[in-house]
Amino acid sequence: MLNKRLIMNKITIYIAIVFMGFSDLGIIAQTPKSPLSRVINVSGTTQIAPSLSGDGKHMIFTTTDNLKRELLVFYSYQQRPGKWTQPQPVTAVNRSQKINHLGGYSLSYNGNYIYFTSRKTYGIGKYDIWYSKRTGNNKWSTPTNLGRPVNSAQDDGCPSLSPDGKTLYFVRCQSMNQKEGSDCQLMMVKRRNQDYWGEPEALPDHINDGNILSPRILADNQTLLYAKGQGDSWDLYQTRRTVNGWTQPVALDYLNTAGDERFASVPAQGDVIYYSTKFKGTYDIIKARIPEEFQPLKVVYLKGKVVDRQGLPLEAFIQIYDVEDKSLAQYHRTKQNDSGFEFYVPAGKKYDFSVVPLTPNYTFYSEIFDLCELTVSIRKKLDIELENLDKGITFPLQCLQFENDSTLSNTSRLEMSRLIKLLKNNPGTQIEIAVHRDSWETDSVLQVDTTLVQVDTTLVQVDTTLVQVDTTLVQVDTTLAQVDTTLFEELFITESSLQAIDSLQIPQDIPAKPKLDPTEIQAQAISRYLQERGVPDYLLEPKGYADSQPVAVNDTEEQRILNRRVEIRIL
């Protein structure tokens, strides 16, 4: 009995010690949290300001775990969940350590850029925003000043680049030192092109109602975290950009304590947050579960490359359109020496994704992403191989959909525009328009309405106007620099070209026959539509294959969807 009592007493004492030891982290009252491994949180040293890449595998942070016990920026890679490599110093940033703003940096979502805050020479103001590009494994280029108008005569810092690389969030302060800033406003600025930025603007007053530092835009490109406070007392807040503007900020009380919570980072998965807080006298980096109501929108993380049949990189335009309103949500142009791409596509909408090569004599790729019901963030690897337009090559029109036997859906406008451009850019190319369906009983074929539908037979010229990039002079440092005038090739689909794509219906002079297979009607409807847009009829061979060439066994709805398809074959 005595031994049992002693054991129970020891267990009670042990539990009390555990709860006391972790009470500073608020595990009981708040949300599940755990410190990162001792590879990162070295005992007796300070670790603050984690910033992670979108995939959660790359992290930079500030630590005193070095010979001089100085606060330096280090880099680590997560080999598997919870297994981090031995951190290594980021020399390109640490060279100016004594004049950098501590924690005033961020790692881009693709892990290829570090944006940081420094008083380096040849700047615009006192503290400016600089960036360094990855050139190898933890090797970074000589830092470059971001220039005007982002940097100003005031103190500018704490940059955070949006996942699409098009918007930068930062703070502009009346004064800033190595540890903090005062009278700091949260700003945003949009990129004009690869090298130049527009004019920064402050976020609304209901957000800028105090001293702001350390903004972080999340992977959905809508949820924004930032810290508000002064001295050693900072709390984290969150707001979200909607169609009606920015929402009222909400304090992250599942993390905030009476101490200092200023630095946080959320990978694209969106269910955990990395932040630094004081634990037993020093700061450690903590990983915490984000309550559902605070999580950003779910996203699909698309990563891949565009290559030809030999696996060589191809230059191409990649476009993601909102299917409902036909607006261009995201785009990217791959390069000859870098055909890779990354996108973070938020849930709640249906998207038209396409890859159109700059070299005309290649096929294009398209796909519909329906993210309306997405409940968890996912990763999708998408390596795309485009074929030369050689005889016999077949490629699908995956974004072409029919509302019924004879009418193309409104979502097909973009796909038809791509096909028209391909044919116009490759004169004389003959194609077969092959329409397939899933199998069904012969006597269940729907009776086709024999009413003739009147359509406008006027030839509509697809707008081939090249889009001119704004050539406004942009001030960089003290030198006027002319923005590079880039002409977007005709392959890039513009809004004016979309307006030329009308509703698509069966032409009036195609005789509708009772029990005519719908694939024949659909193939002829596509053919006539192309003819009305200037494609000669002798280049088009519409053909309906009914259910004679299935690509799946047709037992499930998913398999039947695969069998219902439209393909283009080069003749």
pLDDT tens column, 303-336: 999 999 999 999 999 999 999 988 999 999 999 8
Give mean pLDDT, residues 253-270: 93
At residue 439, the pLDDT reads 81
pLDDT tops 50 at residue 477 = no
Cα 371 versus chain centre, distance: 14
Is the pLDDT score of 494 beyond 80? Answer: no
* pLDDT at residue 467 is higher than 60: no
Q: What is the pLDDT of residue 556?
A: 86
Confidence (pLDDT) at 511: 53
Taking residues 162-168, report their average pLDDT: 96
Percentage of the chain lying above the pLDDT 90 cut: 69
pLDDT band at 504 (very low <50, low <70, confident <90, very high): very low
* pLDDT band at 261; cut points 50, 70, 90: very high
pLDDT higher than 90, residue 123: yes
Answer whether residue 375 shows pLDDT above 50: yes
The pLDDT value recorded for residue 378 is 95
Q: Which of 443, 466, 414, 445 is nearest to 521 (CA)?
A: 445
Rounded CA-CA distance 469/484 in Å is 8
Q: How confident is the model at residue 18 (pLDDT cuts 50, 70, 90)?
A: very low
Question: Where does the pLDDT of residue 110 fall: very low under 50, low under 70, confident under 90, or very high at 90 and above?
Answer: very high
Q: By C-alpha distance, which of 450, 448, 449, 441 is closest to 546?
A: 441
For the stretch 399-457, pLDDT in tens is: 998 887 778 888 898 999 999 999 999 999 999 999 998 886 333 333 333 333 333 33
Helix axes 518-532, 413-425, angle to 10 degrees: 60
pLDDT, mean over the chain: 84
Contact of 320 with 163, CB cutoff 8 Å: no
Q: Could you tell me the pLDDT band of residue 502, with boundaries at 50, 70 and 90? A: very low
Residue 71 CB neighbour total at 10 angstroms? 22
CA distance 225 to 235: 10
Burial 205-243 (b: 16+ CB within 10 A, else e): eebbebbbbbbbbbbbbbbbbbbbbeeeebbbbbbbbee
pLDDT at 490 over 80: no
pLDDT score of 476: 34
Mean pLDDT across 266-279: 94
Confidence of residue 557 (pLDDT cuts 50, 70, 90): confident
pLDDT at 507 over 90: no
- Give 552's pLDDT tier (boundaries 50, 70, 90): confident
Mean of pLDDT values over 83-103: 96
**Confidence check: pLDDT of 464 > 70:** no
CB 328 within 8 A of CB 345: no
**Mean pLDDT score, 237-246:** 97
Q: Report the pLDDT value the prediction gives residue 497, as an integer from 0 to 100.
A: 52
Tell which CATH classification among 2.60.40.2190, 1.10.10.920, 3.30.70.360, 3.30.1490.190 matches the domain 298-388.
2.60.40.2190
Phi, psi (rounded to 5 degrees) for 285: -95, 125
**129-139: pLDDT as tens digits:** 999 999 999 99
**Mean pLDDT of the region 368-387:** 95
**Is domain 391-462+500-571 annotated with CATH 3.30.1330.60?**
yes
pLDDT of residue 479: 36
- For the 31-294 domain, the top CATH level (class) is mainly beta
The amino acid present at 461, given as its one-letter code, is: Q
Mean pLDDT within 227-232: 90
pLDDT score recorded for residue 488: 35
Does the pLDDT of residue 492 top 70, yes or no?
no
| DSSP state, residue 38 | T
Mean pLDDT (whole number) for 99-108: 96
Helix (H, G, I), strand (E, B) or coil at 156: strand
Residue 269 has pLDDT above 50, yes or no: yes
Q: Where are the domains of the chain?
A: 1-30, 31-294, 298-388, 391-462+500-571
Is the pLDDT score of 387 beyond 50?
yes
Least reliable range by pLDDT among 339-348, 435-444, 549-558: 435-444
**Taking 50 as the threshold, does the pLDDT of residue 27 lie above it?**
no
Q: What percent of the chain has pLDDT over 70?
A: 81
Q: What are the percentages of helix, strand and coil residues in the chain, rounded to 5? A: 15, 40, 45
Rg (CA), the chain: 29
The residue with greater pLDDT, 554 or 192, is 192
Determine the pLDDT at residue 515: 66
**Residue 551: what are its φ and ψ, rounded to 5°?**
-110, -5
**Coil, helix or strand for 294?**
helix
